[in-house]
């Protein structure tokens, strides 16, 4: 079994990096791909997550596959989309976006879709879409105001980070918790293992 396999994470997300490290996988390289993430007209949230994760993985593969230093690398990319029905909530960059999202999510259920795309050293593309249903409690004005002041919403799909303060807003969660954080670990490791990546090789060090 090869012990020095290289994994490239086509993301700059600290949360995805932390999740991989949690299961003993240390990416050899981080390659955030700067792509236009604007949904297409009438695009379903699930389709958006699939398209963006695939585009990011392929963009990273296009940059490294001719470089001998990265021969034999696995590439993992992911994209997380939060939606109420078919309405896609943006990755909040402005206070108004986060406030609008929180008021929309208050007291109701929403869906979190994460697309995961794996490209193997041989160029094989594998994809998974993972869905989690999340229900928020009814948020008070103080809840929203205080959360916005925390700044934990910035850059987060749906205007919240479940692994932070917003975890106390979650009344019910059906499905993968790590999916809501940004990378469904069970499915990601299942894909890697199925394509010959030694997912347990770093466990003795952790």
pLDDT (0 to 100) of residue 174 = 98
- Give 189 or 68, the one with higher predicted confidence: 189
- Give yes or no for residue 206 having a pLDDT over 70: no
Establish if 203 belongs to a structural domain: no
Among candidate residues 36, 67, 79, 151, the one labeled active-site is: 79
- Give yes or no for residue 195 having a pLDDT over 60: yes
What CATH number does residue 98 fall under? 3.90.950.10
Residue 95: pLDDT band with limits 50, 70, 90: very high
Strand partners, 75: 8, 119
Establish if 202 belongs to a structural domain: no
Residue 205: pLDDT band with limits 50, 70, 90: low
Query: How confident is the model over 118-145, as a mean pLDDT?
Result: 97
Establish if 201 belongs to a structural domain: no
Whether 152 and 162 have beta carbons less than 8 Å apart is answered as: no
Establish if 1 belongs to a structural domain: no
What's the structural domain count of the chain?
1
Which of 201, 204, 184 lies closest to 76, judged by CA? 184
Establish if 167 belongs to a structural domain: yes
pLDDT (0 to 100) of residue 190 = 97
Establish if 205 belongs to a structural domain: no
pLDDT (0 to 100) of residue 65 = 83
- Give yes or no for residue 137 having a pLDDT over 90: yes
pLDDT (0 to 100) of residue 135 = 98
Give the integer Cα–Cα distance in Å for 127 and 52: 11
pLDDT (0 to 100) of residue 66 = 81
Establish if 96 belongs to a structural domain: yes
Residue 79 bears catalytic tag: yes
- Give yes or no for residue 176 having a pLDDT over 60: yes
* Residue 117: domain span: 6-195
Q: Taking all residues of the chain, what is their mean pLDDT, rounded to a whole number? A: 94
pLDDT (0 to 100) of residue 3 = 44
Residue 145: pLDDT band with limits 50, 70, 90: very high
Query: How confident is the model over 33-52, as a mean pLDDT?
Result: 94
pLDDT (0 to 100) of residue 2 = 43
Query: How confident is the model over 77-86, as a mean pLDDT?
Result: 96
Q: What are 176-180's contacts with CB under 8 Å, separation 24+?
A: 176/130, 176/132, 177/132, 178/19, 179/80, 179/112, 179/114, 179/130, 179/131, 179/132, 180/80, 180/112, 180/132, 180/134
């Amino acid at each position: 079994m090869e012990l020095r396999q290289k994994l490239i994470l086509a993301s700059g997300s600290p949360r995805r990096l932390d999740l991989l490290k949690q299961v003993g996988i240390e990416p050899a390289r981080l390659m955030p791909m700067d792509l236009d993430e604007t949904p297409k007209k009438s695009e379903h949230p699930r389709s958006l997550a699939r398209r963006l994760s695939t585009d990011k993985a392929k963009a990273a593969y296009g940059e490294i596959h001719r470089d001998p230093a990265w021969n034999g690398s696995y590439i993992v990319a992911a994209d997380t989309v939060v939606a109420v029905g078919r309405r896609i909530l943006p990755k909040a960059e402005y206070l108004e976006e986060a406030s609008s999202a929180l008021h929309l999510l208050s007291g109701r259920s929403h869906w979190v879709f994460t697309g995961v795309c794996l490209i193997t050293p041989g160029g094989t593309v594998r994809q998974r879409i993972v869905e989690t249903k999340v229900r928020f409690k009814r948020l008070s004005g103080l809840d929203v105001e205080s959360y916005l002041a925390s700044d934990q919403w910035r850059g987060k799909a749906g205007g919240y980070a479940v692994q932070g303060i917003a975890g106390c807003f979650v009344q019910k969660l059906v499905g993968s918790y790590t999916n809501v954080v940004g990378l469904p670990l069970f499915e990601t490791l299942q894909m890697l293992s199925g394509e010959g990546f030694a997912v347990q090789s770093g466990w003795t060090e952790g």
